[in-house]
Amino acid sequence: LPSQNSFPQVYSLQSPSFKKPIPYLPPEIITEIISCVNEDDIKSLYSIIQVNRTWFSCSIHILWRQPFKYISLTGYSKLLKVYIWFLPEQTKLKLQNNYFNFDVKEFHKKPIVNYLNYLENLEIEFRSLYWAIKLLLPTLEIEGNDEKHEDNKQKQERQVQAHALLIELFNLFKENCPNLKNFKMNYPNEHLSLNAEDLENICTNLTDYKSTFHRPRPRRRRNAAI
């Protein structure tokens, strides 16, 4: 019979082995380790940034390089809520005074990490961006909106707010992301020139060809004649 010492040893969570501090690794080594993680493995990357500040600093840029790639429309809305923090103070003041009849709490937040510096690829449909903003608007109120149904006046206010916020976010991405290499959006100039009501109508029209991407199909290569 094998000796008792040959079996795997079971440690209790109260064991001193689990209370040892994480050994120090220089940032160069951490960066090399992180480079072995697939960029699409979001779950692992989220775990990495929670190790400590050094691991966070070495990996956070990967998650924010193209954040819209991995999420749904609801996720778009949550991301935009963060990007609102980076709007210029004059823009926040203009939006607050001219378009919002309540105190927007996101206008008062001061970001610790500048996520705009990490954004490299932004490819998004205009309709998706618009509806993400529409989902975002009710969450901006400090008291919250308990009404399940909006009346016509509230709907018009939401349209105007979404229109104004969309323009400012578009300008934010275009002018304040120094490392943005690929910014692709379908017909942005034509959409941004519309008023709030026309923009709402186009983005709710599922047959409008300008509100969605139309990527050309790759051509099949013909086999070379032998």
pLDDT digit string, tens, across residues 73-102: 888 999 999 999 999 999 999 999 999 988
The predicted structure's pLDDT at residue 207: 61
111/90 Cα distance (integer angstroms): 16
Separation of alpha carbons 157 and 201, rounded Å: 15
Residue 20, pLDDT score = 57
pTM (2 d.p.): 0.75
pLDDT at position 214? 40
| 8-state DSSP, 104 | B
Instruction: Tell me the pLDDT tens digit for each residue of 42-74.
Output: 889 999 999 889 999 999 999 999 999 878 888
Which of 62, 140, 56, 147 has the alpha carbon at shortest distance from 103? 140
CA distance 138 to 113: 25
Q: What is the DSSP letter of 150?
A: -
Query: pLDDT value at position 72?
Result: 83
- CA–CA distance, 111 with 85 (Å, rounded to integer): 6
Decide: 52 and 22 in contact? Cβ < 8 Å: yes
Ranges of the chain with pLDDT below 50:
1-13, 15, 17-18, 144, 146-147, 211, 213-226
DSSP 8-state class, residue 202: H
Distance CA 109, CA 99 (A): 19
Q: How many residues does the chain have?
A: 226
Given CA atoms 215, 123, 189, 174 in this order, what sign does their dihedral have?
negative
Phi first, then psi, for residue 218 (nearest 5°) are: -65, 135
Domain boundaries, the chain: 11-63, 65-209
pLDDT score, position 215: 40
The CA distance from 124 to 20, in Å, is 45
The answer to whether 199 touches 129, Cβ cutoff 8 Å, is no
